[in-house]
A and B are shown apart, each in its own frame.
Chain A
Amino acid sequence: MEKSEIVLIGLNHKTAPVEVRERLAFSSEDNPQVLEAMRREPRVDEVVLFSTCNRVEILLATEDISEAVETVKNFLADFKKTSREIFEKALYVYNGDEAVRHIFRVTSSLDSMVVGEPQILGQIKESYQEACNHRACGVVLNRLMHRSFSVAKRVRTETGIGDHAVSISYAAVELGRKIFGELEGKAVLLIGAGEMAELAVDHLVTNRASPIFVANRTFERGLEIAERFKGTAIRFEEVRDYLKEVDIVISSTGAPHYVLVHDDFKGVMRARKNRPLFLIDIAVPRDIDPEINRITNVYAYDIDDLKSAIQENIEERQHEARRGERIVDRAVIQFRRWFQSLDVVPTIVELREKIEEIRQTELKKTFGSLRSGSEEDRAAIDRLTAALVKKILHSPTLFLKQRGHKDKKSLYVDITRRLFNLDEPNNNGES
């Protein structure tokens, strides 16, 4: 029986446009369903699900890569009611070292739209937590995820990858400056909530934009956010009226459809005396109908548009990223060593070697301190210890070789290695 392999299936901002990503994105309500459904699949041993604005990825441990990949593709098509052709071309499938490297790179923000943006680590941690809550993770992915967190931490502290201004907020401010000149006194309306959107508002406030309005489906939540920016909470239904007042709108709701459509802007520009209006749509699926961009003096940007806006920053960070890649490379090799050790046969061999080594050491000690004792006695002691070792190792060996543990196999091997301390060759248990 084979042990699990690590496979990663996904698409991101580099391979798929927002139209495709928003179709496949899993909402927080989808997550438990998907995890449960995946766990029921016989081909899937372990699973973690990542869905952010820029990527939808499924990380698996499986014994049959090609079957598992098919299963996931069919599941996606089925669950999202989308035909496979739409997303299949954008999908990438990595396995083994490549999958490990990819996860390390994603978590370290080396694969982000803006290299070095700090939000991704938190998002990945949340996704992992969610998978753990559903007991979808086993020994392989647990180890992989924990490794990826420490790699991310190293990359952040040892390189200057996060030194430049943060992603979306930076782009929003820069574009705002190109439209309005100064941001001082420009009114901002935040629709919805979310880390990225709030960061953007924060950045605008630092650039002296004011006043701030917050519209949230839950008025209380809106009040909370408004308080933080010393702004005003408005009701969600009032958004239309406020389009006449504000200069910058940042939208980030979890709505499955457009929150602002072309018709909402009827009469708005006249009422605004044609003052320019800058709309930033951070949500996936999108909140703002892209058609709105065609209205004179209205500039509507979605998350992909912002991608180009931060191109230069990416270049600045490229150098630092290269150092990050080296840290990732080393981590991949380390992980491979551990992962290879999860094979059953080498583990059994190592286990026997280790015990044999202990036996030999102890025999030598005993014979050294033995004053009397003929050759025969010594041979008897030798046979005794050999038999002991053989008998003791008999059931563990059988157990490890046994078929039908399925996803537990890696776990048992891992436990064995830890119980007998097989990964630290210098410590032979002499103490």
Chain B
Amino acid sequence: MNLLFALTMVFYVASSLGYQGYVLFQRRPVYRVASIILWVGFLCHTGVIALQYFEDGHIPVQNLHETLSTFGWAVVCVFLILQIKFHLMVLGALVAPLATLSVIIASILPKPLVELDPLFKGLWRTFHIGTLIVGNAALAIAFLLGILYLVQEKAIKDKKRGFFFQRLPSLNLLDSMGYSCLIAGFPMLTFGLVTGVIYAQMVHGRFWSWDPKEIFAGITWLVYAVLLHERLAVGWQGRRAAIMTIAGFLILLFTFFLRFLG
């Protein structure tokens, strides 16, 4: 399994470099190779997670190491699904490094053996964390798209047609892709939080205990809820939506680390 994990890392790093190369030189074959390598890395990664699942009998999300690794996998997974519809070649240059970063951090983290209460192993927890992770992955990509949107927006606003203007796609594409990610990510986030609350009731006997990570989880959800509402009802799009997507993800990231480090 360690070998498979190492292979995953190698493929992810190679793919990241490939995507950067594509952005730099704009050569289509470079993109194809990077894309194939990412697929191979993804398959290895899937193998890692599947093996862990069969070994432990649950999704590997018990500690930060496992969670980060799974998160990286989910990010690549969401990205590959998105590629089928949107085919945004430049996005890989951000997604691949993000996945790479999460598996690398995961690899250097200790893997404490957590003695689990039988309750923890329950299907409920698997659902709770599983959906949260896939949801977070979608929101992470929305965040990256938000950054790309702001970069491209600034290029057009400032009328400076530089490096990025040529390479980035239209504002409309970035915006609607970000919206798709939000639409996919938010229900999962909601579902993950609701199951979490119920889980808390089962474990601690209380739905809500006002501890910081719960408060921040609540804030995160609220930010995304407001953003989605504004998009749907008021028709928010473009710059403001991008900024809010970025802000939302930063709070989400904070909550995520609060959960494991706090």
Q: Which residues of A does B touch, CB under 8 Å?
A: 175, 177-182, 270, 272-276, 293, 296-297, 299, 301, 305, 308-309, 311
Interface: B152 (CB within 8 A): yes
Interface: B240 (CB within 8 A): yes
Among the stretches B46-54, B71-79, B170-178, B211-219, the one at the interface with A is B170-178
- Beyond A179-B156, A275-B237, A276-B237, 6 additional pairs, beta carbon < 8 A: A178-B152, A273-B234, A297-B239, A299-B156, A299-B157, A308-B159
Expressed in whole angstroms, the Cα–Cα distance for A276 and B172 within the complex equals 9
Q: How far is the CB of A172 from chain B (nearest CB, A)?
A: 13
Q: Which residue of A lies closest to B233 (CB)?
A: A273
Chain A residues closer than 8 Å to B173, beta-carbon distance:
181
Given A180-B172, A276-B171, A305-B159, check contact A296 B152 (CB 8 Å).
no
Of the candidates A180, A270, A311, which one forms a contact with B170 in the assembled complex, judged by CB atoms under 8 Å apart? A180
Q: Mark B130-164, 1 if CB is under 8 A from A, else 0.
A: 00000000000000000000001000110111000
Q: Are A274 and B172 in contact (CB under 8 A)?
A: no
Q: Mark B188-223, 1 if CB is under 8 A from A, else 0.
A: 000000000000000000000000000000000000
Interface: B39 (CB within 8 A): no
Q: List 11 A-B contacts (CB under 8 A).
A: A177-B170, A178-B152, A178-B171, A180-B172, A272-B235, A274-B237, A275-B235, A276-B172, A293-B157, A305-B159, A308-B160
Q: Are A274 and B238 in contact (CB under 8 A)?
A: yes
Q: Are A301 and B238 in contact (CB under 8 A)?
A: no
Q: Are B159 and A311 in contact (CB under 8 A)?
A: no
Chain B residues closer than 8 Å to A270, beta-carbon distance:
234
Q: Are A308 and B238 in contact (CB under 8 A)?
A: no
Q: How far is the CB of B217 from chain A (nearest CB, A)?
A: 29
Q: Are B169 and A181 in contact (CB under 8 A)?
A: yes
Q: Mark B225-252, 1 if CB is under 8 A from A, else 0.
A: 0000000001111111000000000000
Q: How far is the CB of A232 from chain B (nearest CB, A)?
A: 25
Q: Which residue of B lies closest to A176 (CB)?
A: B170
Expressed in whole angstroms, the Cα–Cα distance for A21 and B185 within the complex equals 52
A-B contact count (CB 8 A): 54
Of the candidates A272, A275, A296, A311, which one forms a contact with B240 in the assembled complex, judged by CB atoms under 8 Å apart? A296
Chain A residues closer than 8 Å to B169, beta-carbon distance:
181
Q: Which residue of A lies closest to B159 (CB)?
A: A305
Q: Are A274 and B235 in contact (CB under 8 A)?
A: yes
Q: How far is the CB of B158 from chain A (nearest CB, A)?
A: 9
Expressed in whole angstroms, the Cα–Cα distance for A388 and B149 within the complex equals 89
Chain A residues closer than 8 Å to B161, beta-carbon distance:
308-309, 311
Expressed in whole angstroms, the Cα–Cα distance for A311 and B165 within the complex equals 13
Q: How far is the CB of B89 from chain A (nearest CB, A)?
A: 15
Of the candidates B160, B170, B234, B237, which one forms a contact with A297 in the assembled complex, judged by CB atoms under 8 Å apart? B237
Q: Are B156 and A178 in contact (CB under 8 A)?
A: yes
Chain A residues closer than 8 Å to B170, beta-carbon distance:
177-181
Given A175-B156, A305-B159, A309-B161, check contact A297 B172 (CB 8 Å).
no
Expressed in whole angstroms, the Cα–Cα distance for A309 and B156 within the complex equals 10
Q: How far is the CB of A202 from chain B (nearest CB, A)?
A: 22
Chain B residues closer than 8 Å to A178, beta-carbon distance:
152, 156, 165, 170-171
Q: Are B171 and A274 in contact (CB under 8 A)?
A: no
Expressed in whole angstroms, the Cα–Cα distance for A278 and B241 within the complex equals 19
Chain B residues closer than 8 Å to A311, beta-carbon distance:
161
Q: How far is the CB of A309 from chain B (nearest CB, A)?
A: 6
Expressed in whole angstroms, the Cα–Cα distance for A182 and B235 within the complex equals 20
Expressed in whole angstroms, the Cα–Cα distance for A273 and B235 within the complex equals 5
Q: Are A179 and B240 in contact (CB under 8 A)?
A: no
Expressed in whole angstroms, the Cα–Cα distance for A296 and B161 within the complex equals 19
Chain B residues closer than 8 Å to A276, beta-carbon distance:
171-172, 237-238
Q: Which 10 A-B pairs have the closest CB atoms?
A: A273-B235, A181-B170, A181-B172, A297-B238, A305-B159, A181-B173, A274-B237, A180-B172, A296-B239, A179-B171
Expressed in whole angstroms, the Cα–Cα distance for A81 and B85 within the complex equals 60
Chain B residues closer than 8 Å to A299, beta-carbon distance:
156-157
Chain A residues closer than 8 Å to B171, beta-carbon distance:
178-181, 276
Q: How far is the CB of A175 from chain B (nearest CB, A)?
A: 7
Expressed in whole angstroms, the Cα–Cα distance for A270 and B240 within the complex equals 13
Expressed in whole angstroms, the Cα–Cα distance for A179 and B169 within the complex equals 9
Expressed in whole angstroms, the Cα–Cα distance for A276 and B242 within the complex equals 14
